[in-house]
Structure 1
Amino acid sequence: MTMEISYTIEEVSQLLKVSKLTVYDLVKKGELPVFRVGRQMRMQASDLDNYMKSNKTVVSQVPIVETYLSEVKDPSHLVISGQDMVLDILGKYMEKDNAYPILRSNAGSLNGLISMYNGQCNIVSVHMYDGDTGEYNLPYVKKILVGYPYVLLNLLSRKAGLYVQKGNPLNIQSWSDLNQEHVTIINREKGSGARILLDEQLRINHIPSKNIHGYLNEEKSHLSVASAVSAGKADVGVGHEKAAKIVGIDFIPLITERYDLVILKNTNNEKLIGTVKAILSSQQFQSEINAIGDYDISQTGSVIYETF
């Protein structure tokens, strides 16, 4: 029998970076479902993941925007796409210091860029690997934002690779190890950076996706993929290091990915670009990100590319 990963109240408070009293209050209100083991309350990882998805902006509790952002019409709000918790922290700084009302979207890197091209997103986070150049993000941004001036700012860098079960019983060490009869993966949705990384690695390693068992099975977040591996629903998944540590499984680092922000350059965005640059470069913001762990902030705030 496979068992889903679960957390104690203290672990949930650490993951959400709130007090245990806040977690107990959410439990009391019925917003966080729990079960009891003796006198101890525990929460399933899937329930915590669902809660985080439905409350993506922690400060003002503004609603999640749908993946394609087709209903975003209010120009008084700024939309930030992507799933990393650092984007929530960025939104917090922008709301507090500059009174920017923030909407958060779960759209993956590629879908976020398409939304920006269609005028439905203000800040897009991207981590898309190009197998031909070995470069992150810029090859895709250049192709999609044709005709638009933009700036590409570094948010952070992080390790990406493979989630495997504790002890790595199948001894999975590389992308080529996925091409085995007895290995089953759990994939990410189309348009996500993790899905692009997998597809590019399969392509440059000459592995047909039809050979990969579980390729069509998808989850929509790093935490969901890691939880699926932990629960024995798959042998391996693709994602970044942080989720593996949260869930308590092993992680095989295979690449350092650059996680960047894209903002269009126009008259309306001049102040926005300056604000984001100032926040990213501030010691306070960088110290908060560094305290989370597993992030490289050596390039945070630097301009990776800019059109004029």
Structure 2
Amino acid sequence: AGDGFIICGQDLILDILSNFMRMHGVMALRAYIGSYDSLVSLYYGKVSVASAHLWDSAGDDYNVPYVRALLPGIRCAVVNVTYRMQGLYVASGNPKTILTWRDFAREDITMINREKGAGSRVLLDENLKLLGLYGSRIKGYDNENQSHLAVASAVGRGDADVAVGMEKVARQVENVEFVPLKKERYDLVVKKEHLDTAEVATMLSILRSERFQNEFKRIGGYDITDIGKIVAET
């Protein structure tokens, strides 16, 4: 990425990270693209840092199988940012008693989906696969939206009965309740040959700093136990 240091992903934590980096003299830019596309962009060298929360049902693992598959032959470091609770957005009081992935197949339920390649979409699709369900048979499956906030708002308005997303957003939207289903690991991915660059070194030292971590002590929904830790290498 010749025209700046580009960090991919949609979480607020990355916005704050890029602000901190700019304060440290690194021109960090943001690209709001989902997990799958950000790994592909990293492979093609269009971005400097990808973020991912992609669950692999085969090994009950996050991100590493996808990094191996989407960046073949490229040595990468997988750096944790946070753990987040993923689950279902339902209307307040959960009038339709939607509690599990199997409920998506019910006749009386209409969903709203995230776009292909979003971590929440992959989590849903992997669970549907385990249940032997096809998305095409689920009402509203083809109705896609690009953000957690948008799908939560649709549920809050009554335009859909259920959507998949992270807990923090449910607190920001009226008339929405959250059904927790999966603690996910949200990671940043960088190419190992870039670990020694000033930009990546600055990013890692910010993630590991008390000052940065203090920003998240007051925001609910983040578990930053492993923030800045290299959790895997490929």
Q: TM-score, normalised by structure 2?
A: 0.96
- The 1-side partners of 2:29 and 2:20 are apart by 13
Distance 2:93 2:194 in 1: 54
Q: Which residue of 2 aligns with 1:199?
A: 125
- 1:110 matched to 2:36? The reply is yes
Amino acid at match of 1:275: T
2:212 is the counterpart of 1:285: yes
In 2, Cα distance between equivalents of 1:247 and 1:194: 18
The residue aligned with 2:85 is 159
Shift of 1:268: 8.1
216, 221, 224: which one pairs with 1:294?
A: 221
| 5+ residue gaps, structure 2 | none
Matches within 5 A, 1:271-282: 271-282=198-209
8 Å Cα contact 2:88-2:180 kept in structure 1: yes
Indicate if the aligned counterparts of 2:99 and 2:179 stay in contact, CA closer than 8 A.
Answer: yes
Check the 8 A contact 1:76/1:101 in 2, yes or no: no
Q: Which position in structure 1 is the counterpart of 2:20? A: 93
Q: Provide the identity percentage.
A: 44
* Count of residues in Structure 1 that have an aligned counterpart in Structure 2: 233
CA contact (8 A) 2:115 2:121 kept: yes
> Which residue of 113, 131, 145 maps to 2:57?
131
Change in 2 beyond 3 A, CA 1:268/1:294: closer
Q: Distance in 1 between matches of 2:75 and 2:49?
A: 14
How many angstroms does 1:272 deviate by?
2.6
CA root-mean-square deviation = 1.3
- The C-alpha deviation readout for 1:232-261, integer Å capped at 9, x for no partner, is 110000000011100031000000000000
Structure-to-structure mapping, 1:241-260, within 5 angstroms? 241-248=167-174, 249-260=176-187
Separation (CA, whole Å) in 1 of partners of 2:67 and 2:159: 35
Q: Tell me which residue corresponds to 1:141.
A: 67
Query: What residue number does 1:188 align with?
Result: 114
2:194–2:200 CA contact under 8 A, matched in 1: no
Q: Distance in 1 between matches of 2:26 and 2:196?
A: 12
Q: 2-side partners of 1:211 and 1:182: how far apart? A: 13
4+ residue segments displaced more than 6 Å: none
The whole-number CA distance in structure 2 between the counterparts of 1:269 and 1:111 is 25
- Which structure has the bigger radius of gyration? 1
Closer/same/farther in 2, CA of residues 133 and 159 from structure 1, 3 Å limit: same
Pick closer, same or farther for the CA change 1:213–1:166 going to 2, 3 Å.
Answer: same
Aligned ranges 1:6-25 → 2 under 5 Å: none
Q: 1:185 & 1:95 partners in 2: Cα distance?
A: 39
Q: Structure 1 229/267 Cα, relative in aligned 2: closer, same or farther at 3 Å?
A: closer
Equivalent position of 1:304 in the other structure: 231
Per the alignment, residue 225 of structure 1 pairs with: 151
- Equivalent position of 1:175 in the other structure: 101
- Structure 1 residue 306: Cα displacement: 2.1
Structure 1 CA distance, aligned partners of 2:64 and 2:194? 23
Tell me the distance in 2 between the aligned counterparts of 1:230 and 1:237. Answer: 10
Per-residue CA shift, 1:148-173, capped at 9, x if unaligned? 12111000001001000011000011
- Greater displacement, 124-133 / 283-292: 283-292
The CA distance in 2 between the partners of 1:254 and 1:174, in whole Å, is: 8
Deviations 1:92-129 (A, max 9, x none): 111101x1112211110000011111110101110001
What 5-or-longer segments of structure 1 have no aligned partner?
1-72
Q: Distance in 1 between matches of 2:108 and 2:201?
A: 51
User: What CA distance in whole angstroms lies between the structure 1 residues aligned with 2:83 and 2:47?
Assistant: 23
Deviation of the 1:211 alpha carbon: 2.1
Letter in 2 for 1:176: R
Distance in 1 of aligned mates of 2:233 and 2:103: 38
